Structures are given as C-alpha cells and as structure tokens.
Amino acid sequence: MHKDVASVPSERIERLILLIRGQKVMLSSDLAELYQVEPRVLVQSAKRNLARFPQDFMFQLTEEEYSNLKSQIVISSWGGLRRARPYAFTEQGVAMLSSVLRSKRAIRVNIEIMRAFVRLRRILASHADLACKLDALEKKYDAQFRVVFDAIRQLMEAPEPEPETPKRRIGFLVEEPHVPYKSKKQKGK
C-alpha cells in the first residue's frame, strides 16, 4: 500500500459512509478531504462531467437532509458556515470519480473506498445469513428456546438512540423577591 493512502485508515473511511435516502453514500466534503482537494474542485469536476453522474450516482442534499445531518454530527469537521449543501456520492458515483479525478492519490484513495464499501456489504450479508440461520433453528426447536432466540435477535438489532436530555444551565441562580418599582409617572401621584 502506498504511503499517503496508508495514512487514511479503512475504519475512518467506513465511518464516512452514511445512509441517506436509503443508499450508502459519501459526502463531497469528506471525499474532497480524502482526495486532498477543495470540495468545490471535486463538485466542479463532477458537474463538468454530468453525463457520468446520474441521480443514482450523485445527488445534492435537500435543506432538510442537510440540517438533519448537521444536527446528528456532534463535532463539525466542516469548519464554520457553509454556503452550499454538500453532494452525496453513491458507491457507483465514487467509482465514477476515479475517471474524473486523475491524480495518483485519487486513484489509490478510490481503491480504499471501494474496499470499504465491499467490507460493509459483506458485514450486512453476514447479518442476513445469521438471521436466516436463526429462523431455521427457531423452527427446528420447540418453544422452550424462544426466549433465547428473542434475546439473540435483540442483541442483533441496532440500539435506539437515547433521547436528548435538556441541558442544565451552569452557574448560580439568585432569586430575589420581586420589588415593584414605580415609574416616573407613578411617583408623581
């Protein structure tokens, strides 16, 4: 593996793959960081070759999707205010980027991204296989093991996000009795 791509761990790439509109995608801002180009350069390259990027390869996030995404990200790596909503590239869109971005780094990073997508697909497939095998076992054995199967299924499910608790204010609260102050008009009466 080349030295400059080795500095991008596969776990980091996998964390950048998001699920938006039911598709696994990577954002233009994250891809630009990996390719070491400015986000606008990456988007301009894709727009110059729009015929290569149909809607199922690349799409721009809606305002609602963008605001939902920003609220989910605790620490913003996007640095301050952003004028344009990012673009989302599907696995096929990322593969197509390799024909548009021609640097050696872009090619090597693209290979690592493709490997990350394949790993995620394998993980999802293994979960599906496990679920099928569990169903077969459940049908084979009687109801006394149902509790065990239900517990295993609960462990396989993704944990639900915890509801946000309201934050308490920091500092001291000094409560003073309400003192009615008279206005200038009332003093004269």
Res 154: pLDDT: 79
pTM: 0.57
24 inside domain:
yes
Query: Residues 118, 134: one domain?
Result: no
182 inside domain:
no
Rounded-to-integer distance, Cα 157 and Cα 144, Å: 22
Query: Residues 65, 145: one domain?
Result: no
166 inside domain:
no
Res 157: pLDDT: 76
Query: Residues 58, 91: one domain?
Result: yes
- pLDDT tens digits along 14-39: 888 888 888 889 999 999 988 888 88
Query: Residues 113, 53: one domain?
Result: yes
77 inside domain:
yes
- Cα–Cα separations (whole angstroms), residue 62 to 58, 78, 79, 99, 136: 13, 17, 20, 27, 42
Query: Residues 83, 150: one domain?
Result: no
Which domain-ending residue is among 69, 101, 122?
122
Res 117: pLDDT: 81
Res 75: pLDDT: 44
Res 111: pLDDT: 81
Query: Residues 10, 80: one domain?
Result: yes
Res 1: pLDDT: 45
Rounded-to-integer distance, Cα 15 and Cα 173, Å: 42
Res 2: pLDDT: 46
Query: Residues 96, 133: one domain?
Result: no
Res 181: pLDDT: 63
Contact between 1 and 64 under an 8 Å Cβ cutoff? The reply is: no
Structural domains counted in the chain:
2
184 inside domain:
no
For residue 38, the domain's CATH number is: 3.10.260
- Which parts of the chain register pLDDT below 70? 1-8, 73-83, 137-146, 158-164, 172-174, 178-189
Residue 107's domain comprises 3-122
